Structures are given as C-alpha cells and as structure tokens.
A and B are shown apart, each in its own frame.
Chain A
C-alpha cells in the first residue's frame, strides 16, 4: 500500500470576483510524479501558491501527511517538507551558488542563535557536513555548479539556474517537491536533460512525491505517472497521459486556447 502524502480536497481560491481555482481535488502518493497541465490562465501556478502558503485558500482542505496545512505561513510549510521552484527561477542572485544550497539546508538546522556566539565548534562541524552534502547534491545535477561553487548565482545561465533551484529545494530533504513549469523556455536538448533531472530527483530522494506543472507535453508524457487537467480553474480530466490526451474535452480546451492565442 503506497501512502498518500498530500491530499487536496475541494480547493477553491477566489480573488475578488474571479475564481482562480474551483473545487479542485487530488492526492499525491509517495514516489509518485503528478502532472498538472492545462492551457494558460488555467490556475495552475495558483494551486502551487496556495499549497506553499503564499495564498490562503477561500475554502477547501490541504492535508500533508494527515495535518491540515492551509492557512499556515509559507516558511512553516516549507520546513514541514514541501518545497517548490518558480516559473521564473527565483534564486538569491548576489550570493554564491553554494550559499543558495546552504540556505536550503540551514532552514532545518537545529542550532539556535546563541550558538552563533558561543558554540563555534558545533557550527563549524555542522557547516562542514552541510557543505559536503551540498557539493554532493550539486554534483548529481551539474558539473558547472560544482566546479565553481563561489560563483554568484546571478551569473548562471538559465539551464543551470533551474538546476540550482532544484538543488536548493532538495537540500532540506523535502517529502514533496513542487516544480512550476521547469521546462519553460528550454530547447528540446535542455528539456530532455531536465527529464533526466526529474527522474534523478526521484531516485535520489526515496519516497519523494513530485507535482509537476508543465506546458511541454513531451516532458509530462515521459515523467508523470498520473495527470490532472485544469481549465479555467476547473478540473476537466484526469488519468494517465494516454487517457488524458485522447479525451475530447481536453483536446477542445487546448484547441480553444491555441485559437485564442493565435
């Protein structure tokens, strides 16, 4: 029996008169990659913003390992073990690559402020093991990151930025990783590298559940175990990639949006 780690039930989010998410429900299991797809403006990123605590949902229930977490502040949710990336990677640009990952780790460190002043030895020990772990983590994803860990994060190219963002999120050993359109703006080569990275996350962190918002259908097809389709905040279909892609409502929704975009 695979355990459910995240349950989203009847989630609704309204901004003033606009309903961004309407009665949305799904589960995420251990070791599962869940894809959320849908045309532009379907409310996918809003789902992440609600889960990660940036918005408080209008109604509904988000349960993480049995605890209801809606209304919790973002940092608390992150500390509990739900980490995310952003559509446009948001790194800490003016500090080093290594520090970006160390921040991810330090958030779960038990050392309190007083130790900063009086127990330097403990801190040094922790720092050494953190650095070591961070380097190993980055090693799995990119040689570029490891080669010069003192580079400003802001100087990285977009592909490396995304990798670093994933490393930063993984650094605290989360149970759930939310990936917000990681393949946005990537060429086919880069997105195939990304797919490897996603599968690598799965093998590196045993039991981790991944929610993937994506536009790139190839990435979704290759990685997601299960897919939910969202359109104008409402779920219109769910199932495996093949089931969903043959669904006529889904085709219509996508076609409609393509026409609008054209």
Chain B
C-alpha cells in the first residue's frame, strides 16, 4: 500500500510536468496546426536562463535576505523570458513559413530545437555536461498516517494544478480565450468577425512557452540537475501526451499528460527491468493510440475537410 502511494505521488508529479508541456503543443496545433518540435528545448532553455540569474542573485546576497519571495520572482522572470522567446519563434520562424508547405515548417521547428540545444551546449560553460540545478523547492517530508509526501513533489503538483486551472479560466472566461477558441475553430471566419488573429497566436505562443519554461525549471529543481539535451525527451513526451489526449484539445492535453505519467511510472515499477525501458512503454502507448484512435481520447473523429 505504501509503495503504491509513493508511486501514485511520483506519477502525479511526472504527469504534471508532461501536462505543462503538452498544453503548449496542443494550443499551437489548435491555432495554427503546427507541431512545434522546438517546444521541448524551450523548457531546457528555461533552466539555463534561470541558473545565471540565480547565481547573480546569490552573489549579490539577495537570496539570503528573502529567499521565499525572491525565488518566485526569479521563476516568473524566467517564464516571461521564455514567453518572449516563444513570441520571437513565432515572429521570426513560424510566421514567414506559414505560406510554405507544412512539412517545411515542421522540419524548421525541428532544426530550431537542434539549434537551441547545441547553442546551449556550446555557449554555456562546460555545457556538454550535466549542470547542478539550484534547489528551488522546499525540502522536507510531510507524514500523514504513515504516508510520506515530499514537499517538493507537492509543490510541483500544486503549482501545475494552479497553472492549468488559471489557463482553463483564461480560455473559458476571458475575451482572449474566446478569440483563441474561435481561431482554433476557423481562422477565416474569426478574422471576419474582427478577431485579431496575429495577436491571438502570439499570445498562445507566449503562454505555451512560458509554461514550457516553468516545466523545465520544475523538472530541473526536482531532480537537481539539467542538461542541454534533456529537452528532446521532455518535448517528445509532452507531444505524445497531447496526441494521446487529442491534439488541439485543451482538456485532452491534461488527460493525456496524466495518462502518460501514470503509464510510465507504473510500468517502470511493476514490469521487470522496466526502468530501462520506461520510454519504450510510453512510445508504445502513443503508437497504439495512433493506430486505434488517431484522434486521441477526447478528440473527435477527424473528417478531412474536402
């Protein structure tokens, strides 16, 4: 029972990280039908942006003055930076290529990911090797009737849930959210109805990339380590989660993220030698979905527009 609960908590932890990444993927597909394969590398960029800022803050002695306040500020600052990066990716890379065949745009996003990855490796001091990531999360263990919860896992789960709920609020209740949904449905019509498509798409890129930055930071903070190429794995898992849930569907990204997290953690725990093949299980799950239900769990059956 006890192990089961530990596993449950770590599955939730992995799930929330995947969900944060998947949300961005699914929103990009929703508004411009683009799978942005540099998304995972944006996550890792977040960690590499945070480290120098954190180092600087430590050197200046600000951290000892008020760590509890400063750490959230730094995290939000990095999220803003990755959000800006997302807007830049849209402006510089995606927008000029929107008229080209989709294959070109897709390959370009893959190449952009590679450039981010390798640029980090080359530019960051000793970038080829794993970097120690600052412990940003509260440490310690909460014990309730024999069950042990790490404060760090709880913080991550809590933060992700907050983000998802507020994003859900934005999409469902605000004018911007309405615009996003309209653009996802039909961009021609929404343009006629006076929606500023460009602004909407940029907002989506900012939000998606900011969440990716957060996911990267939380991932780094939990494992205490980051590396230039961690993003490809995180990105593919996030995209897989979005596909499992139903690409273009916001709730689908959450369902997919949770499902993928649970599959991965439990398969690794209960299948002999499972931890070696952890990634294999999640990819098999995705491939099974693509064969039997390509539109994902929540996605509707796709009728090709003719």
Contacts and interface: CB of A to CB of B under 8 A. Distances in A.
B303 A45 contact: no
Contacts of B303: 15, 55
Contacts of B304: 54
A55 B303 CA distance: 8
B39 to A, nearest CB: 29
Contacts of A89: none
Interface string B262-306: 000000000000000000000000000000000000001001101
Interface string A17-40: 000000000000000000000000
A16 B302 CA distance: 11
Nearest to A84: B306
Nearest to A15: B303
B300 A49 contact: no
A16 B300 contact: yes
Main secondary structure of the interface of A (DSSP, over half): loop
A85 B126 CA distance: 60
B300 A45 contact: no
| Residue with the greatest number of chain A CB neighbours at <10 A, chosen from B300, B303, B304, B306 | B306
Interface in A82-99: 86-87
A54 B300 contact: no
Contacts of A16: 300
Interface string B31-66: 000000000000000000000000000000000000
B101 to A, nearest CB: 9
A86 B306 contact: yes
Interface string A73-110: 00000000000001100000000000000000000000
A108 B221 CA distance: 62
A49 B304 CA distance: 10
A54 B302 CA distance: 12
Interface in B76-116: none
Nearest to A49: B306
A49 B303 CA distance: 11
A54 B303 CA distance: 9
B299 to A, nearest CB: 13
A45 B306 CA distance: 8
Interface in A43-93: 45, 49, 54-55, 86-87
Nearest to B101: A94
Contacts of A86: 306
Contacts of A55: 303
The winner among B300, B303, B304 for most chain A CB atoms within 10 A is: B303
A87 B300 CA distance: 25
Nearest to A87: B306
Contacts of B306: 45, 49, 54, 86-87
Interface in B4-46: none
A14 to B, nearest CB: 11
A15 B306 CA distance: 14
Contacts of A15: 303
A17 B304 CA distance: 17
A55 B306 CA distance: 10
B43 to A, nearest CB: 36
Contacts of B300: 16
A121 to B, nearest CB: 36
Contacts of A87: 306
Nearest to B304: A54
A77 to B, nearest CB: 14
B300 to A, nearest CB: 7
Interface in B216-271: none
Nearest to A52: B306
A191 B300 CA distance: 39
A43 to B, nearest CB: 13
Contacts of A54: 304, 306
Nearest to A93: B101
A15 B303 CA distance: 9
Nearest to A180: B306
Contacts of A49: 306
A55 B300 CA distance: 15
Nearest to A55: B303
A183 B255 CA distance: 46
B102 to A, nearest CB: 14
A87 B305 CA distance: 11
B176 to A, nearest CB: 28
A146 to B, nearest CB: 29
A201 to B, nearest CB: 22
A188 to B, nearest CB: 27
Contacts of A45: 306
Interface string B118-132: 000000000000000
A86 B305 CA distance: 11
5 contacts: A16-B300, A49-B306, A54-B304, A86-B306, A87-B306
User: Which 6 pairs across A and B sit closest by C-beta, in order of nearness?
Assistant: A49-B306, A54-B306, A15-B303, A45-B306, A86-B306, A54-B304
Interface of A: 15-16, 45, 49, 54-55, 86-87
Given A15-B303, A49-B306, 7 more contacts: A16-B300, A45-B306, A54-B304, A54-B306, A55-B303, A86-B306, A87-B306
